[in-house]
Amino acid sequence: MRSFSLLFMIAAVGCGSVPSQTTLDTHNQRSYDDAVARAEQGFGGETFTPVRYTMWPGGDAAAAESGDATAESPAPPAAVADRVRGQGDGDQLYRMPGGNLGMASQGCLVGSACGCDVSLSYLYLRRADGHVAVVRLRPTIKTYRKKVEACGYGCGVPAPPEATVIADLGVTDPALVEVIEAPFRREEVVEYCDHPTPRP
Protein backbone atom coordinates (compact mmCIF):
# COMPACT_ATOMS: atom_id res chain seq x y z
CA MET A 1 0.00 0.00 0.00
CA ARG A 2 1.37 3.39 -0.95
CA SER A 3 2.50 5.65 1.89
CA PHE A 4 0.51 8.84 1.44
CA SER A 5 2.21 12.12 2.30
CA LEU A 6 0.48 14.41 4.76
CA LEU A 7 1.48 17.95 5.59
CA PHE A 8 1.05 18.95 9.21
CA MET A 9 1.51 22.58 10.21
CA ILE A 10 1.82 23.15 13.95
CA ALA A 11 1.19 26.51 15.56
CA ALA A 12 2.54 26.85 19.09
CA VAL A 13 0.82 29.96 20.42
CA GLY A 14 -0.28 31.31 23.75
CA CYS A 15 -3.48 29.96 25.24
CA GLY A 16 -5.27 33.25 24.68
CA SER A 17 -4.44 33.15 20.97
CA VAL A 18 -5.73 29.66 20.26
CA PRO A 19 -8.99 29.84 18.28
CA SER A 20 -11.92 27.76 19.44
CA GLN A 21 -12.57 24.46 17.71
CA THR A 22 -16.09 25.67 16.96
CA THR A 23 -14.70 28.60 14.98
CA LEU A 24 -12.22 26.34 13.21
CA ASP A 25 -14.96 23.85 12.33
CA THR A 26 -16.81 26.62 10.48
CA HIS A 27 -13.68 27.35 8.45
CA ASN A 28 -13.07 23.63 7.93
CA GLN A 29 -16.55 23.11 6.52
CA ARG A 30 -16.11 26.02 4.12
CA SER A 31 -12.76 24.62 2.92
CA TYR A 32 -14.31 21.17 2.45
CA ASP A 33 -17.29 22.58 0.54
CA ASP A 34 -14.95 24.56 -1.72
CA ALA A 35 -12.97 21.39 -2.53
CA VAL A 36 -16.19 19.56 -3.39
CA ALA A 37 -17.33 22.44 -5.61
CA ARG A 38 -14.00 22.47 -7.49
CA ALA A 39 -14.20 18.73 -8.10
CA GLU A 40 -17.79 18.95 -9.31
CA GLN A 41 -16.97 21.85 -11.62
CA GLY A 42 -13.85 20.18 -12.99
CA PHE A 43 -15.36 16.77 -13.72
CA GLY A 44 -19.01 17.69 -14.20
CA GLY A 45 -21.91 15.34 -13.71
CA GLU A 46 -24.01 14.65 -10.65
CA THR A 47 -23.21 13.15 -7.28
CA PHE A 48 -24.50 9.67 -6.50
CA THR A 49 -24.43 7.37 -3.49
CA PRO A 50 -23.01 3.96 -4.41
CA VAL A 51 -24.09 0.67 -2.92
CA ARG A 52 -21.34 -0.33 -0.48
CA TYR A 53 -20.13 -3.81 0.40
CA THR A 54 -18.35 -4.28 3.73
CA MET A 55 -15.94 -7.19 4.14
CA TRP A 56 -14.50 -7.91 7.57
CA PRO A 57 -11.08 -9.51 8.14
CA GLY A 58 -11.34 -13.28 8.16
CA GLY A 59 -14.87 -13.31 6.75
CA ASP A 60 -16.05 -14.18 3.26
CA ALA A 61 -19.47 -12.56 3.50
CA ALA A 62 -20.05 -9.06 2.19
CA ALA A 63 -23.05 -6.96 3.14
CA ALA A 64 -24.55 -4.65 0.55
CA GLU A 65 -25.78 -1.36 1.95
CA SER A 66 -27.87 1.23 0.13
CA GLY A 67 -29.63 3.80 2.25
CA ASP A 68 -31.35 1.96 5.09
CA ALA A 69 -31.47 -1.38 3.26
CA THR A 70 -28.96 -4.12 4.03
CA ALA A 71 -28.80 -7.50 2.31
CA GLU A 72 -26.32 -10.32 2.12
CA SER A 73 -24.30 -10.44 -1.09
CA PRO A 74 -24.71 -13.71 -3.06
CA ALA A 75 -20.92 -13.86 -3.40
CA PRO A 76 -18.04 -11.70 -2.17
CA PRO A 77 -16.56 -9.17 -4.62
CA ALA A 78 -13.39 -10.40 -6.35
CA ALA A 79 -10.25 -8.25 -6.61
CA VAL A 80 -9.09 -7.55 -10.16
CA ALA A 81 -5.76 -6.38 -11.56
CA ASP A 82 -7.20 -3.63 -13.76
CA ARG A 83 -6.11 -0.04 -13.10
CA VAL A 84 -7.98 3.20 -13.69
CA ARG A 85 -6.82 6.75 -14.28
CA GLY A 86 -5.55 8.39 -11.07
CA GLN A 87 -5.69 5.16 -9.06
CA GLY A 88 -3.32 5.08 -6.10
CA ASP A 89 -1.50 2.09 -4.65
CA GLY A 90 -3.92 2.18 -1.72
CA ASP A 91 -6.91 1.73 -4.05
CA GLN A 92 -8.14 -1.72 -5.13
CA LEU A 93 -10.58 -2.48 -7.92
CA TYR A 94 -13.10 -5.29 -7.50
CA ARG A 95 -15.58 -7.06 -9.74
CA MET A 96 -18.91 -6.96 -7.92
CA PRO A 97 -21.38 -9.89 -7.83
CA GLY A 98 -23.57 -8.17 -10.44
CA GLY A 99 -20.65 -7.52 -12.82
CA ASN A 100 -20.02 -3.85 -12.03
CA LEU A 101 -16.66 -2.50 -10.95
CA GLY A 102 -16.17 -1.59 -7.31
CA MET A 103 -13.39 0.27 -5.57
CA ALA A 104 -12.02 -0.01 -2.06
CA SER A 105 -10.06 3.10 -1.16
CA GLN A 106 -7.91 4.10 1.76
CA GLY A 107 -10.16 5.27 4.59
CA CYS A 108 -7.61 6.34 7.18
CA LEU A 109 -4.84 8.84 6.50
CA VAL A 110 -3.26 8.85 9.97
CA GLY A 111 -3.93 6.04 12.41
CA SER A 112 -2.82 4.97 15.87
CA ALA A 113 -3.41 2.13 18.30
CA CYS A 114 -6.72 3.81 19.15
CA GLY A 115 -8.00 3.76 15.57
CA CYS A 116 -8.10 6.41 12.87
CA ASP A 117 -7.00 9.93 13.83
CA VAL A 118 -7.38 11.54 10.39
CA SER A 119 -9.86 10.11 7.88
CA LEU A 120 -10.23 10.50 4.15
CA SER A 121 -13.67 11.02 2.68
CA TYR A 122 -15.02 10.30 -0.79
CA LEU A 123 -17.47 11.82 -3.24
CA TYR A 124 -18.82 9.96 -6.28
CA LEU A 125 -19.73 11.73 -9.53
CA ARG A 126 -21.40 10.39 -12.69
CA ARG A 127 -21.58 12.20 -16.03
CA ALA A 128 -24.19 11.80 -18.75
CA ASP A 129 -21.57 10.06 -20.94
CA GLY A 130 -21.29 7.27 -18.35
CA HIS A 131 -17.93 8.28 -16.88
CA VAL A 132 -17.56 8.02 -13.10
CA ALA A 133 -15.18 9.85 -10.77
CA VAL A 134 -14.11 8.77 -7.31
CA VAL A 135 -13.16 12.05 -5.61
CA ARG A 136 -10.76 11.64 -2.69
CA LEU A 137 -11.07 14.56 -0.26
CA ARG A 138 -7.68 14.78 1.44
CA PRO A 139 -7.14 17.13 4.41
CA THR A 140 -4.00 19.15 5.00
CA ILE A 141 -3.89 19.57 8.75
CA LYS A 142 -2.87 22.66 10.70
CA THR A 143 -2.87 22.17 14.47
CA TYR A 144 -2.89 24.72 17.28
CA ARG A 145 -1.37 23.43 20.51
CA LYS A 146 -3.22 24.42 23.66
CA LYS A 147 -1.81 23.71 27.10
CA VAL A 148 -4.28 22.47 29.72
CA GLU A 149 -3.97 21.46 33.36
CA ALA A 150 -4.74 17.76 32.86
CA CYS A 151 -4.92 15.46 29.86
CA GLY A 152 -4.80 11.78 29.00
CA TYR A 153 -3.14 9.48 26.51
CA GLY A 154 -4.00 6.13 24.97
CA CYS A 155 -7.47 4.77 24.35
CA GLY A 156 -7.99 2.17 27.07
CA VAL A 157 -9.09 -0.52 24.65
CA PRO A 158 -7.55 -1.66 21.34
CA ALA A 159 -9.12 -0.43 18.12
CA PRO A 160 -11.38 -2.92 16.30
CA PRO A 161 -10.11 -4.45 13.03
CA GLU A 162 -10.62 -2.26 9.99
CA ALA A 163 -13.13 -3.48 7.43
CA THR A 164 -12.75 -3.24 3.66
CA VAL A 165 -15.52 -1.07 2.23
CA ILE A 166 -16.11 -1.43 -1.51
CA ALA A 167 -18.20 1.10 -3.42
CA ASP A 168 -20.13 -0.24 -6.43
CA LEU A 169 -19.37 2.28 -9.19
CA GLY A 170 -22.22 1.20 -11.47
CA VAL A 171 -20.04 0.65 -14.57
CA THR A 172 -18.26 -2.40 -15.99
CA ASP A 173 -15.48 -0.78 -18.07
CA PRO A 174 -12.34 0.50 -16.26
CA ALA A 175 -11.94 3.15 -18.98
CA LEU A 176 -15.04 4.87 -17.58
CA VAL A 177 -13.56 5.35 -14.10
CA GLU A 178 -11.03 7.83 -12.71
CA VAL A 179 -9.83 8.88 -9.27
CA ILE A 180 -9.50 12.61 -8.53
CA GLU A 181 -7.54 14.07 -5.62
CA ALA A 182 -9.25 17.03 -3.93
CA PRO A 183 -7.13 18.58 -1.14
CA PHE A 184 -8.58 20.91 1.46
CA ARG A 185 -7.33 22.63 4.61
CA ARG A 186 -8.42 21.52 8.07
CA GLU A 187 -7.46 23.17 11.36
CA GLU A 188 -7.63 21.54 14.78
CA VAL A 189 -6.88 22.38 18.42
CA VAL A 190 -4.66 19.79 20.10
CA GLU A 191 -4.52 19.85 23.89
CA TYR A 192 -1.39 18.90 25.84
CA CYS A 193 -0.23 19.00 29.45
CA ASP A 194 2.92 18.46 31.49
CA HIS A 195 1.85 15.18 33.11
CA PRO A 196 -0.61 13.19 30.97
CA THR A 197 -2.26 10.15 32.53
CA PRO A 198 -3.35 6.93 30.78
CA ARG A 199 -7.02 6.76 29.83
CA PRO A 200 -9.00 3.89 31.38
pLDDT of residue 3: 39
pLDDT of residue 174: 97
Report the alpha-carbon distance of residue 52 to residue 54 in Å, rounded. Answer: 7
pLDDT of residue 97: 87
Cβ 110 vs Cβ 182: under 8 Å: no
pLDDT of residue 14: 46
Plot region of 166 (φ>0 → left; ψ -120 to 50 → alpha; else → beta)? beta
Mean pLDDT in residue range 140-156 = 89
For the chain, the average pLDDT equals 85
Q: Considering the entire predicted model, what is its pTM?
A: 0.80
pLDDT of residue 198: 86
Task: With cut-offs at 50, 70 and 90, classify the pLDDT of residue 159.
Answer: confident
State pLDDT tens for residues 28-45: 999 999 999 999 999 999
The helix, strand and coil proportions of the chain, stated in percent and rounded to the nearest 5, come to 15, 45, 40
State pLDDT tens for residues 74-98: 577 899 999 999 999 889 999 998 8
State pLDDT tens for residues 115-130: 888 889 999 999 999 9
